[in-house]
């Protein structure tokens, strides 16, 4: 696989938008750092979103293969208050690229990066019924710490080293 982790950049706007269209409407593009108020379809909106990512204390990468954006992965900064609820890592792979080991590949690299940055343990939270994400985390060596509820939503909290 010619996979790369690439920092979000304007050069890949067309490729990113093509992936974004495949995800379809709704706030479900995990790992890209898109917030409810971000408007990413217009050139100005996209540029403002990229600017916000650069200023975010966390780190973001796009998973790229041959110029196509296949997914995104984020590492929240340790001091980010949302880590307590959402964990350090979040990721998503576009529907047409799933089941090829892409999330596992990206997560392994970001876990290495987190270790080098001194983040320990690395935490992750996923929906209890998200079998693909549970398998991705367990494949990467994460251990289930506990099941919890975010409001009425059952989630699993994982840690690694």
Ligand X SMILES: CC(C)(COP(=O)(O)OP(=O)(O)OC[C@H]1O[C@@H](n2cnc3c(N)ncnc32)[C@H](O)[C@@H]1OP(=O)(O)O)[C@@H](O)C(=O)NCCC(=O)NCCS
Query: What is the binding site for ligand X (CB under 6 A)?
Result: 30, 90-93, 98-104, 126, 130-133, 135-136, 139
Shortest approach of ligand X to residue 74 CB, angstroms?
A: 10
Q: How far is the CB of 127 from ligand X (least distance, A)?
A: 7
Closer CB to ligand X, residue 46 or residue 157? 157
Nearest-angstrom CA–CA distance, 137 and 88: 12
Which C-beta is closer to ligand X: that of 3 or that of 17?
3
Say if residues 119 and 160 touch (Cβ distance below 8 Å): no
> Residue 1 or residue 131: which is nearer to ligand X going by CB?
131
In the complex, minimum distance from the CB of residue 91 to ligand X, in angstroms, rounded to a whole number? 5
Helix (H) or strand (E) holding 96: none
Euclidean distance between CA atoms 127 and 38, whole angstroms = 23
- Partnered with residue 3 across adjacent β-strands are 65
Local structure of residue 81 (DSSP, 8 states): T
Nearer to ligand X, 15 or 23 (CB): 23
Residue closer to ligand X (CB basis): 1 or 54: 1
Least distance to ligand X from the beta carbon of 135, Å? 3
**Residues 6+ positions from 3 with CB-CB distance below 8 Å:** 63, 64, 65, 70, 102, 105, 106
| Kind and range of the H or E run holding 148 | strand 143-150
Shortest Å distance, C-beta 22 to ligand X: 11
């Amino acid at each position: 696989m010619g996979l790369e982790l690439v920092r979000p950049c304007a050069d890949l706007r067309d490729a990113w938008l093509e992936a974004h269209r495949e995800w379809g409407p709704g706030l479900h593009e995990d790992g890209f750092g898109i917030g409810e108020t971000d408007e990413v379809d217009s050139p100005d909106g996209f540029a403002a979103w990229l600017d916000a990512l650069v200023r975010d204390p966390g780190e973001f990468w796009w998973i790229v293969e041959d110029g196509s954006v296949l997914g995104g992965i984020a590492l929240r900064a340790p001091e980010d208050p949302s880590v307590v609820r959402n964990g350090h890592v979040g990721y998503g792979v576009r529907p047409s690229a799933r089941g090829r080991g892409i999330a596992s590949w990206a997560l392994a690299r970001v876990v290495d990066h987190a270790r080098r940055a001194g983040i320990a343990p690395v935490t992750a939270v996923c929906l209890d019924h998200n079998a693909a994400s549970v398998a991705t985390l367990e494949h990467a060596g994460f251990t289930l710490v506990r099941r919890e509820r975010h409001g009425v939503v059952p989630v699993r909290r994982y840690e690694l080293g």
